[in-house]
Amino acid sequence: MATADMTVGSTVKHLIAYSVPLILGNMFQLAYNAIDSMIAGRFIGADALAATGMAGPVVNILILGISGICLGAGVLMSGFFGAKDERQLRKELSTMLTSGLIFSILAAIIGIIITSPLLVVLNVPGEVHDITMIYLRIIFIGTPFTYIYNALASALKSVGDSKTPLYFLAFSSVLNCVLDLILIGYFGLGITCSAVTTVVAQGVSALLTAIYISRRIPILSIGIKDVTIDRNLLKLTMQYGSVTALQQACQPVGKLLIQSAVNTLGVSVIAAYNAVTRVDDFAFTPEQSISHGITTFTAQNRGAGKKERIITGFAKGLAIEACYFVIICTVVLLFNKPIMSLFVSGEGAEEIIFQGHQYLSTMAFFYILPAFTNGIQGFFRGMGNMKVTLISTFIQTSIRVIATFILVPHYGIHAIAYACAAGWIMMLLFEVPYYFVYKKKHGL
C-alpha cells in the first residue's frame, strides 16, 4: 500500500518525498493553464487570451474553495491515520465525498446562473464579454469532477501518498494539451473547445483516481454500503473545511478585485497581466506544495502526540522554502523576457512583453515573502488552527487590494508587485508573533 507514516523516520526525507510529487503535479496543471493561454493567444487572438485571463480568478475562487474543504478534511484524515484509527478515517472520507458532491452540483448550477451579471460587475470589456461568459459556464459544468478529484487526492495525501495524484493529473493535463493543440491549433476551433477539453480532463483525472483507490488502497476504498454522512464528522469537517475554504478563497477573491482594476486599462494590459499571473503561479506553487507537506507532517505527528517532531519538521520545512526562493528568484530574473514572449506574438506583442518584464523583474525579489507565509500557514493547518490562517490571509488580501487600487491607475501593473509585498509583510507581522505565543501556550 503506497502510504507513508511520517511519525517515524527522517524529517527532511519525508518533507521532500511528499512535496516533490505535489510540486510536479501542480506544475503539470499550471503548464496546461499556461499552454491553454498560449494557444488561446496565438491561435484564437488577443481577445481569447484576455478572456481566459479574466475568467481565471473566477475559476480559481471555485477551485480553491473546493480544495480548501478537501484540505481541511485531509487534516482530519491525517490525524486519524497518525493515530491508526482506520474506522474514523474511512467515515471521514465518505462524509467528505457525499456531502461535497451535493455542494459541488449546487455550486455549478449557481455559477452558470450568475455568470453574466458577474462579468458586468467585473468591468469586463464588451468585446470579450460573450466569449468569457461561454468559457466560464462550461467550466462551471465540470465542478463536480473537480471536487471528486480533489477529495480523493486529498485522501491519498493524508496517508502520505502524494505521488499517485501526480500521475493521474499529469495524464489528464497532457490529454488536455493534446486535445487543445489538435482541435484549436489544427482545426481552428474557438475558446468553447478549450473549456470543453478542460472539463473532459477533469473527469478523466477523477475517474482514474477513483479506480486506483478502489483497487490498490484498501484503507480508503469505500463501497455503496459504506456511503454515509456522519453528523459529528460533518460538523468537524465544516469547522475545518469551511474556514480553510474561506482562507483559500481569499486569494482569488483578491485577484478578482485586482483584475477588475486591471480591466480598466485596456485589452493589451489585461493580456500582459494574464501572462505574468501564470508565471507567478509557477513561482508560488512549489511554496504551497512544501506548505502542504508541512501540514500533513504536522497533522500526522499531532495525531501520534509527537510534539518535538512537529517543531523539527516545521523548522526544516521553512529551510526548504528558503532554498527554493533562491532558485525561483534567479530563474525569473534571468528569463522573464523569453518567458513573456511565449504568450504573445504579432502586433502589440512588444508592449505586452515590456509590461510583463517590468512586473516580473520586481516581483522576483518578493517571492521570499510568500515562501515563509505559506510555511507558517502549513504549520497552523496541521495543528488544526484554521482561524489564524483565515485571519492572516484576510489581512494580506485586504492590504494588497487596497494598495492595488491606489497605485495601479498611476503606475500600471508594475505597482501590483509592490502591493503584493505590502500584503505579505503585514501578514508576517501578524503570524510570527502569534506563532511564538501559540507554541508556548501548547507546550511545543
Query: How many Å apart are CA 79 and CA 58, to the nearest integer?
Result: 32
- For 33, counting Cβ atoms within 10 Å of its Cβ (0-12 exposed, 13-18 middle, 19+ buried), the class is buried
Query: How many Å apart are CA 182 and CA 142, to the nearest integer?
Result: 21
Q: For residue 53, what pLDDT is reported?
A: 66
Instruction: Give the angle subtended at the CA of 333 by the CAs of 328 and 339, to the nearest 5°.
Output: 85
Q: For residue 327, what pLDDT is reported?
A: 92
Q: For residue 45, what pLDDT is reported?
A: 60
Q: How many CA atoms lie within 13 A of 423 on its CB side?
A: 26
Q: For residue 337, what pLDDT is reported?
A: 83
Q: For residue 372, what pLDDT is reported?
A: 94
Buried b (16+ CB within 10 A) or exposed e, 68-87: bbbbbbbbbbbbbbbbeeee
What residue type is assigned to position 195 of the chain? A
User: Do 412 and 265 meet the contact criterion of CB atoms below 8 Å apart?
Assistant: yes
Q: For residue 1, what pLDDT is reported?
A: 46
User: Do 411 and 325 meet the contact criterion of CB atoms below 8 Å apart?
Assistant: no
Q: For residue 342, what pLDDT is reported?
A: 74
pLDDT digits (tens, 9 = 90+) for 379-436: 998 888 888 888 998 999 899 999 988 887 888 778 888 999 999 999 999 999 999 9
pLDDT digits (tens, 9 = 90+) for 246-259: 777 677 677 778 87
Under-70 pLDDT residues of the chain: 1-4, 29-54, 56-57, 60, 185-191, 249, 252, 344-348
Query: Virtual CA dihedral for 195, 201, 203, 204, nearest 10 degrees?
Result: 160
pLDDT digits (tens, 9 = 90+) for 33-83: 666 666 666 656 666 666 666 676 677 677 777 777 787 788 888 888 888
